[in-house]
Amino acid sequence: MFVHERENIDRLWIPFDSVRTSVFLIQTTEGYLLFDCASSEYDIRKLLLPELKKQGIPFEDIQWLFCSHFHSDHTGGLPYLLNDLPWIHIAAKDSSNVPPAFKHRVHMVCDTESIMNDLQVLFTPGHSDDSISLLDKRTNTLLSGDALQQRGIGKYGTGIASPALYYQTIQRIRQLQPECLLASHAYDPLGEKAEGTLAVKQYLDENEEYLLTLEAFVKKQVNADTSNATLIAEQFRNTHPNFPSLPVWTVQTIIRKLSTDEQE
Ligand SMILES: [Zn+2]
């Protein structure tokens, strides 16, 4: 069932592995946009399309699919959605992960570009290079996808491909001062939504604090004895048993950043 999140914005939760992911439906003056499309044929044909029908949304009014980034829990359903709704335009940062049959549907977005009149694209890399967010200018609501992960979620933890860009993204969103943040997962500890400028500030603070905590932890281990990412991730798990798991690949990107910081 769609959950009403903000004026013009509804969320459909979709099970993914041991966690949940989101598809957002945004109503604009120029029709509907879907923000992400979950992971599989089942998600599209058994969950998303039937729920849209229940909401009374005419499929032909759905004009755009916005791809927050190309991780499978966000865009794995793309071929099935495009097969069933072939008129849809795809908004994405690049087309390299779009199956060849649908590449001609891709509109490669620019930073700060407007789509469907009411929405604005923002480049928010860090979690992945291709992470983009969407601002609903009418209510100053930012859909951040996976760009802001706090402490992460479950066994996936916090995925950070570039700690430096992740930090910049946090600061960029601070300057933007959105009134509401909607994330794609229920991240630990503040969840999937921050409403009001104070809650948004706390949400951003939490992201920044956790990133700095991770960097300090990894730095300490590297200085003390080891630069083995697997071992460091394990040590972090042992010392922070109540946190979501810290992925080894995130530790690796932090180690890489520390070594380039040193060279500079
Ligand atoms: Zn992701």
| Nearest partner of 202 among 190, 213, 211, judged by Cα | 190
Instruction: Output the pLDDT for position 106.
Output: 98
d(CA 214, CA 87): 44
Classified as helix, coil or strand, 76 is coil
What is the CA(224)–ligand 1 centre distance, in A?
32
What is the CA(14)–ligand 1 centre distance, in A?
15
Instruction: Output the pLDDT for position 262.
Output: 79
What is the CA(160)–ligand 1 centre distance, in A?
9
What is the CA(225)–ligand 1 centre distance, in A?
31
| Nearest partner of 207 among 121, 134, 142, judged by Cα | 142
Which amino acid, 204?
L
Query: pLDDT for 174-212, tens place per residue?
Result: 999 999 999 999 999 999 999 999 999 999 999 999 999
| Nearest partner of 129 among 148, 110, 156, 147, judged by Cα | 147
What is the CA(223)–ligand 1 centre distance, in A?
30
Instruction: Output the pLDDT for position 260.
Output: 87
Local confidence pLDDT in tens for the 264 residues of the chain: 999 999 999 999 999 998 999 999 999 999 999 999 999 999 999 999 999 999 999 999 999 999 999 999 999 999 999 999 999 999 999 999 999 999 999 999 999 999 999 999 999 999 999 999 999 999 999 999 999 999 999 989 999 999 999 999 999 999 999 999 999 999 999 999 999 999 999 999 999 999 999 999 999 999 887 889 999 999 999 999 999 999 999 999 999 999 888 777
As given in the structure block, the two tokens for residue 44 are: 């599209």
What is the CA(158)–ligand 1 centre distance, in A?
9
Separation in Å, CA 82 to CA 99, 222, 230:
10, 47, 39
| Nearest partner of 136 among 5, 14, 3, judged by Cα | 5
What is the CA(18)–ligand 1 centre distance, in A?
15
What is the CA(137)–ligand 1 centre distance, in A?
24
Instruction: Output the pLDDT for position 161.
Output: 97
Instruction: Output the pLDDT for position 162.
Output: 97
The model's pTM is: 0.96
What is the CA(253)–ligand 1 centre distance, in A?
15
Instruction: Output the pLDDT for position 57.
Output: 97
What is the CA(15)–ligand 1 centre distance, in A?
15
Identify the residue whose tokens are 């209510």: 139
**Fold annotation for 2-197:** Metallo-beta-lactamase; Chain A (3.60.15)
What is the CA(127)–ligand 1 centre distance, in A?
7
What is the CA(96)–ligand 1 centre distance, in A?
16
Identify the residue whose tokens are 């300057």: 175
Identify the residue whose tokens are 């992911």: 21
Instruction: Output the pLDDT for position 227.
Output: 82
